Chain A
Amino acid sequence: EVQLLESGGNLVQPGGSLRLSCAASGFIFNNFAMSWVRQVPGKGLEWVSGIGSFGGTTDYADSVKGRFAISRDDSKNILYLQMNSLRPEDTAVYYCARYPRRVPVAGSRLDYWGQGTLVTVSS
């Protein structure tokens, strides 16, 4: 059974940093591209970032480009999201999700999701 378990969410001050983790199990992690998607409380979903298998390609939403960095440790089956220069508008539940392929291409779906971890940016 595919399982994705996010952790690392916390309360952080504006301008601060936080690293999210997503532990994957139930599938061959390095065969799949992965993604982060967030949901502001009471709002819709927003794609944040994606990474190809073996970390070959990375991509970011304009809203986080230059501040967030996605990475993966295939030896530990863990996906990361390093978030720097955090802003109040980054407050959201962050989900990790799997693409059903090695490289995220335009039009790709996300076939498995975790339950999310809450990041709150506030002073």
Chain B
Amino acid sequence: QSVLTQPPSVSGAPGERVTLSCTGSSSNIGADYDVHWYQHLPGTAPRLLIYGYSHRPSGVPDRFSGSQSGTSASLAISGLQAEDEGDYYCQSYDSSLGNYVFGTGTKVTVL
């Protein structure tokens, strides 16, 4: 079972803004380990979307933004588009487990 909890699903109409949460604990996000976000669209390789809480790799639109507060992190998608439909995972490191950990994943649906 994952130590990072995400809501199973989030939906929004095209053009709307949605926010995905990633809740951890004092041994991962709360211990100041970086949080990263990945987009996994059907039939494709996972793609790094946000790293170090809020940095975007080149090529990632600025519609995607990340933030962190305490033991949680968030990914916001502004101007939601049909091509954004897919699964989104947060990732960090857990000092108690001594492992890299992923969130449970959130499925984004564009209505």
Contacts and interface: CB of A to CB of B under 8 A. Distances in A.
A112 B38 CA distance: 10
A46 B44 CA distance: 17
B45 A115 contact: yes
Interface residues of B, number: 26
Residue with the greatest number of chain B CB neighbours at <10 A, chosen from A4, A106, A108, A113: A106
B91 interface: yes
Task: Report, as a range, how many residues of chain A touch the other chain.
Answer: 20 to 34
Residue with the greatest number of chain B CB neighbours at <10 A, chosen from A107, A108, A112: A107
Contacts of B97: 62
B93 A44 contact: no
Contacts of A112: 48
Contact of B45 (A108, A109, A113): A113
A109 B36 contact: yes
B19 interface: no
Nearest to B51: A109
B47 A113 contact: yes
Contacts of A111: 48, 51, 57
Contacts of B91: 45, 109-110
Residue with the greatest number of chain A CB neighbours at <10 A, chosen from B33, B34, B97, B99: B99
Interface string B55-71: 00100000000000000
B93 A114 contact: no
B53 to A, nearest CB: 11
Contact of B105 (A45, A110, A113): A45
Interface of B: 2, 33-34, 36, 38, 44-48, 51-52, 57, 89, 91-93, 95, 97, 99-105
14 contacts: A44-B102, A44-B103, A45-B38, A47-B100, A50-B100, A62-B99, A106-B93, A109-B34, A110-B91, A111-B48, A112-B48, A113-B45, A114-B45, A116-B45
